[in-house]
Structure 1
Amino acid sequence: RRTRRRSTRGLGVSGGMAEAIDLYRQSVIGVALIETLNEMVASGALSPELAMAVVMQFDKSMCHALDKHVESRATFKGGNLRTYRYCDSIWTLNLRNTTFMNEEIETVLPMVKIVAYDMRMIEEPVEPITCQQCQ
């Protein structure tokens, strides 16, 4: 299933932060959230302002969760680097037939796209949040 690319334009985010946030909003959960919020706004069940607040909280929560709660690490080897690009402090790598390993499994993936960026290059830092686990 192909989904349309969602943009952060008009959502109060700009520069390097917009590019970083786009990664989270284009995830399966991000696309589902935005589509659901759009439907709720269209039906009148939710105001556009409240929908915007939910999306902004999603952005903060994703940054926080990935920074503080993800401990899993993966390594990869072999495969073919098909294309690579470095633009605006963001690396995009397209790999084929690559072996990925973590503590539990090892698998060969026919196609992988890796998007990596340096959080230090983000112009507008995301306001930190605290969750119940961090308190």
Structure 2
Amino acid sequence: MANYQFYRGTTLGTTLQETLDEMISRNQLTEQAASKVLSEFDRSINEALDKRIHKKVHFSGKLNTYRFCDNVWTLILQDYSIKESTPGQHNTGTATPQTSTGAKIKIVACDAKSGQQS
């Protein structure tokens, strides 16, 4: 699986980047070491999401915009609804799936099996 930098934009990723920048400015860490830490973060977060998340998500809405560039799909839905469920939940009648709705959502995805961002 390829390691993408997509998750550096999350709260966790930006906080890590800020901390590394501060350590570099105080000469506590070299830029090369900080780059290695960020690469390990990219690898770890992608692996964790691939191996540990076992939810299925079904979404619907009005497709406003779609784009396929560099093997990455970007979809923008308006008036969307997202329904999530966990494995084993189907046909059991035990837990109620969570549903979210909203005015607009942007989905960025690609095929993790082909080594692309997921």
Common topology (TM > 0.5): yes
Offset of 1:28 from its aligned partner? 2.4
Structure with max Cα Rg: 2
1:47 — aligned with what? 30
| Aligned-CA RMSD value | 1.7
Given the alignment, which residue of 24, 36, 39 partners 2:7?
24
Give CA deviations for 1:68-87 in whole Å, capped at 9, x if unaligned. Answer: 1111221112x221111001
Equivalenced residues, count: 103
Give CA deviations for 1:34-67 in whole Å, capped at 9, x if unaligned. Answer: 1221122112222222211211110110121011
**One-letter amino acid of the structure 1 residue matched with residue 108 of structure 2:** V
2:65 — aligned with what? 83
8 Å contact from structure 1 (residues 93, 115) kept in 2: yes
1:115 — aligned with what? 108
1:131 — aligned with what? none
TM norm structure 1: 0.68
**What residue ranges of structure 2 are gaps of 5+ in the alignment?**
86-96
Offset of 1:98 from its aligned partner? 0.5
8 Å contact from structure 1 (residues 100, 107) kept in 2: yes
Give CA deviations for 1:82-111 in whole Å, capped at 9, x if unaligned. Answer: 111001111000111201111341110222
TM norm structure 2: 0.76
More contact order relative to length (CA 8 Å, sep ≥ 6) = 2
Q: Percent identity?
A: 35
Give CA deviations for 1:100-123 in whole Å, capped at 9, x if unaligned. Answer: 11134111022211111123154x
